[in-house]
Amino acid sequence: MEASLTLTKQELEKFADIAYRETGIRISPQKLELMNNRLSRRLRELNLRSFRDYLEMLQRPGSNEMSNFVETITTNETYFFRCPRHFRLLSRQILNTFQSPTIDVWSAACSTGEEPYSLAIALLERMPNARNRKIRIFASDIDRKVLKKASDGVYGDYALRFVRPEFLKKYFIPLNNGMYQVIPELRQMVLFGQHNLQNPFPKGKVDLIFCRNVLIYFDDQSKDQVFRNLLGALRPNGYLFLGESEIVPPLSGVHRVEASVAQKKG
Ligand SMILES: C[S@@+](CC[C@H](N)C(=O)[O-])C[C@H]1O[C@@H](n2cnc3c(N)ncnc32)[C@H](O)[C@@H]1O
């Protein structure tokens, strides 16, 4: 018989502390039901009988459950060309200012890959002389499961609903099961790797960062730290895009292009 699992407020606090330490994500008490559902699923997979057993498992020295826990609590919602305004700004005002023969882009918190592949399409379509330049897109996430899906590059209708028909034809191969796979040219442009945004990233290496719809889950303190890391990773005159509902805080050395987009001063 399967036990029905009810996460208590105290247990949620303990899981929230672990989540905060590992990822910077703040889980509020209002997420009790959501976390109850997500964690119950993981308990069933592990054949555990209580949340207390799961907490013990996570805290056991040498436990390798932590990455599964992180994958259980993260929200991975994404789709191609999310926030069209950002892609318009990029195409109309930013890509034509990039002069160097090599362009480095970082999709930080890329989830299942729709964002970095959208960036690859935008750069190929709208950056002058794109095919004679070297475009490198590094796409990272803390969650290994989404990275696996991202490197397979196979998507269905939900993810593709805002892709223009001519781009669908040009950049995707229809598969027998109704899904579409991104073409090899795009897959070769994107390098996927695991990275926790709380960890430092090499300084001054990228021209463009998309770090969208992830800092909303962080508290001000972790957000500030990540924000500084991201600005540090940019080359002078490089651009940082946050999610459309996020706001770049006023900081010296940064010019705000719009509420969610910043340029590092040269
Ligand atoms: C909602 S998705 C956003 C995907 C994409 N950027 C977009 O806007 O459509 C948030 C992603 O952030 C990742 N994430 C959460 N905490 C992270 C951290 N500390 N470091 C790196 N990625 C993290 C999650 O695994 C998830 O895939």
**7-62 pLDDT, tens digit each:** 999 999 999 999 999 999 999 999 999 999 999 999 999 999 999 999 999 999 98
38 in active site: yes
Q: What confidence category does residue 177 fall into, taking pLDDT thresholds of 50, 70 and 90?
A: very high
Which pTM was predicted?
Answer: 0.96
pLDDT greater than 80 at residue 136: yes
Q: What CA–CA distance (Å, rounded) separates 185 from 44?
A: 40
Domain(s) labelled CATH 3.40.50.150 in the chain stretch across 84-264
> Ligand 1: which of 23, 141, 144, 158 to mutate, judged by most atoms within 8 Å of the beta carbon?
141
Considering the domain 9-73 in this protein, what is its CATH number? 1.10.155.10
> Ligand 1: which of 79, 214, 230 to mutate, judged by most atoms within 8 Å of the beta carbon?
214
Atom of ligand 1 nearest to the CA of 146: 27
| Average pLDDT of the chain to the nearest whole number | 95
pLDDT greater than 70 at residue 200: yes
49 in active site: no
Q: What CA–CA distance (Å, rounded) separates 85 from 50?
A: 46
Atom 7 in ligand 1: residue holding the nearest Cα: 78
Mean local confidence (pLDDT), 131-149? 97
Domain(s) labelled CATH 1.10.155.10 in the chain stretch across 9-73
Which CATH number is correct for 84-264, 2.60.40.10, 3.40.50.150, 3.40.50.2000, 1.10.150.240? Answer: 3.40.50.150
